[in-house]
A and B are shown apart, each in its own frame.
Chain A
Amino acid sequence: MNGLRIIKWAGLAAIVGLAIALPYVISSFYVNMATQMLFFGLFALSINLIAGYGGMVTLGQAGLLGIAGYGLGIFYTSYALPLGVSALLAIISTIVVAAFLGLMLVRASGVYFLMITLAQGMVVWGIAQRLTTLTGGDNGLRGIARPPFAIEYWSYYYFSLAVVALCVFMIARIVRSPFGLSLKGVREAETRMAPLGYDVKRIKLIAFTISGAFAGVAGLLLAMYNNFFSPPSVYVKASAEGLLMSILGGVGTITGAFVGSGVFVFVTNYVSGYMERWPTLLGLIFVLTILFAPDGVVGAWQRLVWAPLLRRFGAADEAELIEVGVGGGGLLSDRDRKVLKSATDGDSAVPEEPSKPVEETRAGS
Chain B
Amino acid sequence: MSGRQFVLLTLNGISFGALLFLLSSGFTLIFGLMRIVNLAHGSFYLLGGYVGLTLMQGGQSFWVAMVGGALAIAVLGFVVERGLLLRVRGRTMPEVLLTVGLSLIFADLALARWGGDPILLDRPSQFAGTVELGGVTYPEFRLLVLALGVLLAVLMWVLQSRTRIGAIIRAGVDDREMVSALGINVNAVFTGVFVFGALLAGMTGVIGGVFLSLYPGADGEILNFALVVVILGGLGDLRGAIVGSLLVGLIDSFGRSLTPSLSYFLLFAPMALILIFRPRGLFGRATVN
Contacts and interface: CB of A to CB of B under 8 A. Distances in A.
A130 B263 contact: yes
Nearest to A276: B112
Contacts of A355: 90, 177
A364 B73 CA distance: 38
Contacts of B96: 57, 111, 114
B97 interface: yes
Interface stretch (B7-15, B55-63, B126-134, B269-277): B269-277
A130 B263 CA distance: 9
A324 to B, nearest CB: 17
B80 to A, nearest CB: 10
B87 interface: yes
A290 B97 contact: yes
B192 to A, nearest CB: 19
B165 interface: no
A364 B260 CA distance: 35
B231 A130 contact: no
A44 to B, nearest CB: 14
A119 B228 contact: yes
A275 B136 CA distance: 52
Contacts of A279: 104-105, 107-108
A25 to B, nearest CB: 33
Q: Give chain B's interface residue range (CB within 8 Å of chain A).
A: 35 or more
Contacts of B144: none
A113 to B, nearest CB: 10
A277 B112 contact: yes
Contact of B105 (A103, A284, A330): A284
Given A122-B224, A286-B100, A360-B92, A127 B275 contact: no
A240 B267 CA distance: 22
Q: Give chain A's interface residue range (CB within 8 Å of chain B).
A: 35 or more
Interface in B63-112: 84, 87-88, 90-94, 96-98, 100-105, 107-109, 112
Given A123-B265, A127-B264, A287-B84, A116 B109 contact: no
A127 B217 CA distance: 15
B88 A118 contact: no
B37 interface: yes
A194 to B, nearest CB: 16
A252 to B, nearest CB: 13
A59 B279 contact: no
Interface in B111-147: 112
A119 B271 contact: yes
Contacts of B90: 355, 357
A103 B276 contact: yes
Nearest to A123: B268
28 contacts: A57-B96, A105-B275, A107-B276, A111-B96, A114-B96, A119-B228, A122-B227, A123-B265, A127-B261, A130-B260, A131-B262, A132-B261, A236-B224, A237-B107, A243-B100, A277-B108, A279-B107, A283-B102, A283-B103, A284-B101, A284-B105, A286-B100, A286-B104, A287-B98, A287-B101, A331-B93, A355-B90, A364-B279
- Which 10 pairs, one residue from A and one from B, show the smallest C-beta to C-beta distance? A126-B264, A286-B101, A283-B105, A283-B104, A279-B108, A122-B224, A287-B101, A104-B275, A107-B279, A280-B108
Given A59-B100, A283-B103, A290-B94, 16 more contacts: A57-B97, A103-B276, A104-B275, A108-B275, A108-B279, A119-B228, A119-B268, A122-B224, A279-B108, A280-B104, A280-B105, A283-B101, A286-B100, A287-B102, A290-B97, A361-B284
